[in-house]
Amino acid sequence: MIGGRVAVLAALAAALLSACTSSAPHDGPGSTRAPTKIIPAPAAVVAGTAPQLNGNLWVLAGPVGDRTMHQLDLTTDKFGPAVPAAASATSLTESNSTLLGLGLATVSTGAVQFLNGSNGALVSTVALAAPVRAVTAGSDGSTFFALEGTTTSSSVAAISSIASTVKGTLPVPLDTVSIAVAPDQQRIYALESDGNVDIISGFGQVISRFSVGRNPEALALSGDGATMYVLKNGRGAAENVGVFNVSLESQTKVLPAPSDTNDIAISSDGATLYAFVGTSTVGNVQLFATG
């Protein structure tokens, strides 16, 4: 009798352990940890960049037609004066050479503007055939990748900021909403609205696909390319950020995300997640420890 109870208890313990360590994506509220810091920002924050070595980052804010950019000094938690941005701006990124890439989207066309990362001054503009949904900087400091698309096709354009030309394009799934690029710039991660991430080679071949959960909105990749962070809109439940081991294609933890988070970024050391929060009347940047 005792032996039978021991066996049952052992089985239950094993089942509980398995449940607790499962890496399957889920859409629960995530960790209850509080942000380590909340920095007030201009209202209607749309997007933000990862912090640079100089201790600054940029946010894109304002309603469509009245966009502005603002530089945040993370040593003082103060924003600099507003810098006018293109009315059709949709996304913002910054390279490790402190060059800004601003994605633009009109009804049928798009472009990427390159801007001085110190003052936001325009450097050059590269026109694209379709509206830009997202833009991200490559690790070489001069190549930018723009997700462009219409209702019938989507692709990623690799753009040289030095030559101000498109180096090439790769097709991606039609419902791609966000992209990240591997540190070697040989693979693109395409986040689909159906909850999958496609890993696409430089030749346009889908190498692998894995699920990240429902209602994904944006993704960020750690500097070493080993960890992926996926912002998911709860749509009735709490928003959260799923943390994924890229090589294992599995979720390792869930971090909180404030309501109305529109974009995320990760610090170069991977220790801090930045959530960019904005509504028509509210704006802030919230920091969360990832450990």
Is residue 13, in this structure, part of any structural domain at all?
no
Is residue 198, in this structure, part of any structural domain at all?
yes
Binning pLDDT at 50, 70 and 90, where does residue 33 land?
confident
Is residue 5, in this structure, part of any structural domain at all?
no
Is residue 236, in this structure, part of any structural domain at all?
yes
Could you give the CA distance from residue 180 to residue 136 in angstroms, rounded to a whole number? 7
Is residue 177, in this structure, part of any structural domain at all?
yes
pTM for the whole structure = 0.88
Q: Which residues contact 157 (CB under 8 A, 6 or more apart)?
A: 128, 145, 146, 148, 166, 168, 169
Give the model's pLDDT for residue 31. 52
Is residue 22, in this structure, part of any structural domain at all?
no
Segments forming the whole domain that contains residue 56: 28-289
CB 91 within 8 A of CB 102: yes
The total domain count for the chain is: 1
Q: Which residues contact 155 (CB under 8 A, 6 or more apart)?
A: 130, 147, 148, 149, 169, 170, 171, 172
Is residue 7, in this structure, part of any structural domain at all?
no
Could you give the CA distance from residue 272 to residue 245 in angstroms, rounded to a whole number? 17
Could you give the CA distance from residue 231 to residue 224 in angstroms, rounded to a whole number? 19
Per-residue pLDDT reduced to its tens digit, 203-212: 889 999 999 9
Could you give the CA distance from residue 253 to residue 157 in angstroms, rounded to a whole number? 32
Smallest CA-to-CA distance from 39 within 4, 84, 74 is with 74
Separation of CA 145 from chain center: 13
Per-residue pLDDT reduced to its tens digit, 36-85: 999 999 999 999 999 999 999 999 999 999 999 999 999 999 999 999 99
Res 12 pLDDT > 80: no
Binning pLDDT at 50, 70 and 90, where does residue 20 land?
very low
- CATH number, domain containing residue 115: 2.130.10.10
| pLDDT-wise least confident of 3-12, 74-83, 85-94, 189-198 | 3-12
| pLDDT-wise least confident of 28-32, 60-64, 201-205, 240-244 | 28-32
Give the model's pLDDT for residue 18. 35
Average pLDDT, the chain: 90
Is residue 89, in this structure, part of any structural domain at all?
yes
Tokens (6 digits) for 59: 């946010």
Per-residue pLDDT reduced to its tens digit, 172-193: 999 999 999 999 999 999 999 9
